[in-house]
Structure 1
Amino acid sequence: MDTAVKKPIKFTYEDYLHFPEDKRYEIIDGEVHMVPSPVPHHQMVLGNLYLRLCEFVDKKGIGEVYLAPLDVVLSEIDVVQPDIMFISKERLNIITEKNIQGAPDLIVEIISPTSEYRDRVIKRKLYSKYEVKEYWLVDLEKKEIEVMALGESGLETVKIYKKTDILESLVLKGIKIKLNDIF
């Protein structure tokens, strides 16, 4: 009887490039995660946030804002597609013709029922590991946004903004987003 422990198969970015193009995938620590299509409310909130971020970033001339689907290659075995990402002017060199090579300064993930654990726990650890400076978790059901900033022990909650609050950012200094306009 074979008592050897089988190691799980680890996928790489090279494998990822051969996945079907009509689906969204992420690889976290070599494990493949299929990302389901978002629901209309998700897309509405995504669009509202994206517009506010683009207006601010363009007006200030401080970097670039992108939407999923766009590959963010953190390592050979960590490839994600955040809903929204901001890359500062000083770090535009991580933007390549095909993908983003490295951690964006700000990542926004909109939680769905199927992604909640992955977004709150797994991606928080992953983004901490790769030193994402700020991480926003958008909760559609609660109509709130949790803003986290990179601290000594990883991404730490700075504030949870409710629907009636005005969101502010440490990375995007001076931005003020009325969450009533987002949800």
Structure 2
Amino acid sequence: MLVVFVSSFVLCVAFELAEGRKIWLTEDYASACRRLDDARRRLVDAEEKASEKGDTKKNARAVSHARVAVADAERRRREMAIIARKWFTGATYSGALVVRAVYGDAAGWRLPFAVPDFARGLLGAGEDPRDINAATAFLLTTFVIRSVIGDFLDRRVRVADAYTSASRRTKELMNKTQ
């Protein structure tokens, strides 16, 4: 099933290029990162000022506004990563449906091991227990290729940073003040 491999590869490369052009390489993403860094600096400054001068209403309000700015900047950056992931997921499942419509239950791959009995219906195993159908082969191939290309282009680090590390840093900053 060379067609399955080629279509998976084309889909992954097209989405990596589109994602790079629309998200990671744009001024919007860079400004979202700068905005997040600035908001974190303002939070640290507001906390230092509050600890130096005491807990006044003005200082508490400044710290509160800085926390809101950090949370808003993180949300915006995270939304950019989520948008990219949603489009790719939709395209992947659409591609699997097209492959399923074209090839039906035809064997897509023959694995080097037998598919367990409980998963044969899910993976669409054919006569040979090592076969999986073309749609499942497309999904697996797309996942593997996307992971390899993503590791090569460092996409996973950017997405993970957008999802987790920003939240972790904010939690650390907020725990310092309490």
Shared fold per TM-score greater than 0.5: no
Q: Which has the higher helix share?
A: 2
TM-score, length of structure 2 as denominator length: 0.21
* Larger fraction in strand: 1
With a CA cutoff of 8 Å and minimum separation of 6, indicate the structure with the bigger relative contact order: 2
Instruction: State the TM-score, normalized to the length of structure 1.
Output: 0.21
